[in-house]
Amino acid sequence: MARTPIFPPNAPKPIAPYSPGVASDAGTTVYVSGQIAIDPATQLFVDGDVAAQTHLAMRNLGAVLAAAGADYGDLVKTTIYLRDMGDFPVVNDAYASYLLAPYPARATVQVARLPRDAAVEIDAVAVIGG
């Protein structure tokens, strides 16, 4: 299967060997790598509260989707990684502000540590026109 990497100019550059997103050869499925609160303008991690980190992660995810010709309405699956499951209500409210029903399938898990010691990381799968 051919893969097309997605490197939007208005999203943070990868901090490791990965593409921010990858589209399938048919161009209908988009896989978005985990997004954290990195400011695309400065490439610096924004160590704000968990709500601010979630909003920036979702905006970064949206930039990758847009570069692939998709938007939040095309999401079919997301995974939210939290440093502290106690942050779930705040993260959930921020995350939900970007979506309309029907919502994508989702898993939320607590992890020991995230890149740059982020409080939240979000990855996704979208199907364009799905």
Distances (CA, A) of 93 to 54, 87, 120: 9, 10, 13
Cis, peptide link before residue 102, omega less than 30° from 0? yes
Give buried/exposed letters for 81-118 (b at 16+ CB in 10 A, else e). bbbeeebeebbeebbeebeeeeebeeebeeeeebeeeb
**pLDDT tops 60 at residue 46:** yes
CA distance 111 to 72: 25
Helix (H, G, I), strand (E, B) or coil at 78: strand
Average pLDDT over residues 96-109: 96
Question: What local confidence, expressed as pLDDT, does residue 2 receive?
Answer: 72
Confidence band of 130 (pLDDT split at 50, 70, 90): low
User: Structure tokens of 105?
Assistant: 């399938």
Task: Say what the pTM is.
Answer: 0.92
Average pLDDT over residues 109-117: 97
**pLDDT tops 90 at residue 69:** yes
Average pLDDT over residues 98-114: 96
Domains of the chain: 3-127 (3.30.1330.40)
pLDDT digits 0-9 by tens, 5-29: 888 888 988 888 888 998 887 768 9
Question: What local confidence, expressed as pLDDT, does residue 54 receive?
Answer: 98
